[in-house]
Amino acid sequence: MSKHIIKMKYRTCPSCGYKYSRKDYYKKLFHKYHESQWRCPECNAPLAFDFGRRIFIIIIGVLPIGLADVFLSYLIDDLHLNNWLSFGILFVITILWNLFLYSFDNFVVLKNKKLIK
């Protein structure tokens, strides 16, 4: 029995294989509410974010919030940082963690749906 390794293609058009740069991807990510569907600049296929993958990323993305009590007690009690600085550090870590996770997002080609625009 042979094992097949499936390589996931992040930030890539599933139709033509065009790979979005991180910069272009983050532009799409931050404008996702008014631009949740778009056309591939290479093959003009109608694309959207993969909803199932997005739910998975959101679940993993809240891990820093779930560990906030442990992390904040370490910063406040052990490192003797003030509360505001500790919450600020947690906020920055949460933002960076989520930006990292979202860079593994996938796209899907819209079929039997009209592209908004």
Q: What is the pLDDT of residues 19-74, one digit of tens each?
A: 888 888 887 777 655 457 888 889 988 888 888 888 888 888 888 888 888 888 99
The dihedral sign for the CA sequence 89, 91, 97, 103: negative
Q: What is the pLDDT of residues 88-105, one digit of tens each?
A: 999 999 999 888 888 888
Count the residues in the chain.
117
Scanning the structure block, which residue is given the tokens 């991180």? 22
pLDDT band (50, 70, 90) for residue 84: very high
Q: What is the pLDDT of residue 92?
A: 93
For the chain, which residues make up each domain, given as ranges?
22-109
Q: What does the block give as tokens for 16?
A: 């033509």
Q: Quick check: helix, strand or coil at residue 35?
A: coil
Q: Quick check: helix, strand or coil at residue 20?
A: coil
